[in-house]
Amino acid sequence: MYLILFIGIAILSYVVQSNLNSKFKKYSKIPIASGLSGREVAEKMLRDNGINNVTVTCTQGYLTDHYNPANGTVNLSEAVYNSRSVAAAAVAAHECGHAVQHAVAYAPLTLRSALVPVVSFASNWVQWVLLAGIILIHSMPGILLAGVVLFALTTLFSFITLPVEIDASRRATAWLLRAGITSASEQPMAVSALKSAAYTYVVAALSSLATLAYYVMIFVGGRSRD
């Protein structure tokens, strides 16, 4: 049953990621009527929201766009930073949506940021603790339990990320239309692109939950045989 579930999630993940890449490539070829680059869109959204302590920078990679609250930067990939397309405007505004969340102390983002150090520690050790726990499940079941707890933290982080990403997209698309960055015909494209990105986080959270359930079953099964 779990094998079928994991295969299903893997297929779903592939489909969602392929859809995201397809949408991004498609909308990257459509010039935005306002003529603004991704960098200009980001800088304008920050100004419009009264955020003056965040810098927009260019980073290498494909779809590596992210907001870093630690150093106050909105980091846009090269394909977004210089592009004057619908896709670039949507991605740039989405990342600035996180900066707005930070500025207004959006609760899920605050909680997510607080969990980052803990989840970083858990991610570095969880695979080794789980491996040792499975090997020693009959003699030292506490090790596997510790691994399950660590993995549960990463799963919790995945689910807390969902409202953060969805809200950032909501803020982005509302502002794009309100500020006249996207026209009435371009707005559905921006919404579609960000929805495709959001689906990747949904699949990641479901995959993490399924994996957590699998490890819990191993732990429970090992304890029942004892």
Annotated active-site positions, please? Answer: 95
Q: Which residue, 101, 103, 86, 100, is CA-closest to 38?
A: 86
**DSSP line for 45-58:** HHHHTT--S-EEEE
- Confirm if 162 and 201 have CB atoms less than 8 A apart: yes
- CA 195 to chain CA centroid, Å, is 12
Residue 68 sits at φ, ψ, to 5 deg, of: -115, 105
